[in-house]
A and B are shown apart, each in its own frame.
Chain A
Amino acid sequence: MKVLVPVKRVVDYNVKVRVKADQTDVDIANVKMSMNPFDEIAMEEAVRLKEQGKVTEVIAVSCGVDKCQETIRTAMALGADRGILVQTDAELQPLAVAKLLKALVQKEEAQVILLGKQAIDDDANQTGQMLAALLDRPQATFASKVELGADSATVTREVDGGLETVEVALPAIITTDLRLNEPRYVKLPDIMKAKKKQLDVVTPGDLGVDVTPRIKTLKVSEPPARQGGITVPDVDALVDKLKNEAKVI
């Protein structure tokens, strides 16, 4: 069984981004980039499924600029067998990515597609669901446990108020939540080995997909700043402030 794992290159989660002065976007020139944390979890799960002998091949895919090759190499160091870059300098939105992935899933005949639940840059939380819709296949989003059978997967999902378990027929799309697993660290020998693995580069044109953005960003601004607060000396002062100044209790 083949597993496809889409990975996204995003601004590292530790970086506090700044909005550009002309309000066209956030400033991501010269900031540290890394693999989206949810995608690392997806990658880890795919590798664990392979280690359990349930999966024969793990393919890492990334869509975007040439530098996304670094992200694919990281995925390979984590255990992906090979990689595919859909190379384009165009701005890619979730619907376009879902269409690119659909083409690849069909070409590779992947049975399981493991994605992160959302990317920490656009916070969209859409690509997995859109891919499932385009392929007309079931989806199991926000997974915190995955049990893979021969022709179905049983997935525990994190929902409001608790957990929910669903069984989806394969091929299926699964998106990962934070508690699915703890991704392993990349080891130096694996980084060296990853350099030798196969990485194919295709373009949206090769896949016959139109990636024209459907959403136009008119402005990116700073969120309203909170008023600076005060430090109170003790609990009595805090109770007094909450009762008499803020009047919230």
Chain B
Amino acid sequence: MTNLVIAEHDNSSLKPATLNTVAAAAKLGGDVHILVAGKGAQAVAEAAAKVAGVSKVLLADGDSLEHFLAENVAEQVLAVVADDYSHVLFPATANGKNVAPRVAAKLDVAQITDIIAVESADTFQRPIYAGNAIATVQVEGAKKVLTVRTTAFDAVAAEGGAAEIVTIDAVADSGLSKFVGRQVVASDRPELTAAEVIVSGGRGVGSQENFAVIEKLAEKLGAAVGASRAAVDAGYAPNDLQVGQTGKVVAPQLYIAVGISGAIQHLAGMKDSKVIVAINKDAEAPIFGVADYGLVADLFQAVPELTEKL
């Protein structure tokens, strides 16, 4: 049994989500290989070769793979998977979720989304209903296509492995879709899904200007900034900061929710955090039901005070 992990990267560096996915693959038993599909991604393949527990890295390098278009990446995975791979694992990132079902459908197998635990080679746990229930599912089929909730598996070491790198041909461009452009939100803070500490603001913050209060606290803690859907919809924060069922799922050491009521959609994205702190002036807010430490106070007084005292 051999498991194939599809690397998450930006053509120059390997993203940490890959390491969590390798951890899930290791739980299945058998060899773990990594596929790096990109353009000019030699450095990524070299980084992947060093990942602990990986025995082989496949590098497909070509123009068709530069922007990770689903049509091309899926074909690339299919070109490889005909071999003896029993499991294909993607991190449950925007890219992974975009491609994995396409691969599964072409193989005529079901796909399992967002696994949080491996029980056996064909049995997995995954959250349903915004994390309000956990389903244990068994999937049939010779090949299993999975996306892995990265926060549910501890990353394997990025160093220590010595896998061989095998270069394979990149697939031809499908011609079905074309990359036009990308708008990256500039941020010098840690990436939301990988941060140890996250400070999130909600509707209670009141305006885009007021979000500076959240940012100052985050700066002090070296934390990433998150937001609730209400704050994003109101335009206080860009949408890639959204934490929740429809945004990012995070599990940091410390999650500080400021002015967030705690709707189930938001809780689905952060309730696996180790320590949750809630600062809210409404003592009845549902967020206090999951918070380890709750402070009932006006955030405009409490947060600057907290920033100062840390």
- Do these two chains really belong together in a complex? yes
Chain A contacts to B: CB under 8 angstroms? 11, 13, 16-17, 19, 26, 93-95, 98, 117-118, 120-134, 137-142, 144, 154, 157-169, 177-179, 214-223, 226-227, 229-232, 234-236, 238-239, 241-242, 246, 248-249
Q: Chain B: how many interface residues by the 8 Å CB criterion?
A: 90
Q: Which chain B residue lies CB-closest to A11?
A: B129
Contacting residue for B296 out of A11, A166, A231, CB 8 A: A231
Which of B20-28, B32-40, B170-178 forms part of the interface with chain A? B170-178
Chain B nearest CB: distance from A235 CB in Å?
5
A159 touching B94 by the CB < 8 A rule? Answer: yes
Are B177 and A138 in touch, CB under 8 angstroms? Answer: yes
Given contacts A139-B102, A165-B182, A166-B69, 20 further A-B contacts (CB under 8 A): A98-B105, A121-B128, A123-B129, A126-B104, A129-B101, A130-B101, A132-B70, A159-B94, A160-B193, A162-B183, A164-B183, A168-B177, A169-B176, A214-B141, A218-B136, A227-B292, A229-B294, A230-B294, A242-B293, A246-B293
User: Which of B128-147 touch A at CB < 8 Å?
Assistant: 128-141
Q: Are A120 and B177 in contact (CB under 8 A)?
A: no
Docked pose: A122 CA to B137 CA in angstroms:
12
> When chains A and B are docked, how far (Å) is the Cα of A132 from the Cα of B100?
12
Interfacial residues, chain B to chain A (CB-CB below 8 A): 67, 69-71, 74, 93-95, 97-106, 108-114, 123, 127-141, 174-185, 191, 193, 197, 221, 229, 232-233, 238-240, 245-246, 248, 253-254, 264-265, 271, 274-277, 283, 288, 290-297, 302, 305-306, 309-310
A144 to B233 Cα, complex, angstroms:
13
Q: Is the CB of A133 within 8 A of B293?
A: no
Neighbouring A residues of B110 by C-beta, 8 Å: 93-95, 214-215
Asked whether A162 and B185 contact (CB < 8 A) given A126-B101, A215-B110, A232-B294, the answer is yes
Report the nearest A residue to B232, measured CB to CB.
A179
- With a CB–CB cut-off of 8 A, which chain B residues contact A166? 69, 177-180
Residue from A13, A16, A123, A140 whose CB has the most chain B CB atoms within 10 Å: A123
Q: Is the CB of A160 within 8 A of B93?
A: yes
Contact A164 to B239, CB < 8 A, known contacts A241-B293, A246-B275: no
| A164–B129 alpha-carbon span in the complex (Å) | 28
| 17 A-B pairs whose Cβ atoms sit less than 8 Å apart in the complex | A17-B129, A132-B70, A141-B70, A160-B95, A162-B183, A162-B238, A169-B175, A217-B135, A218-B123, A221-B136, A222-B133, A223-B131, A223-B132, A238-B295, A241-B293, A242-B275, A242-B293
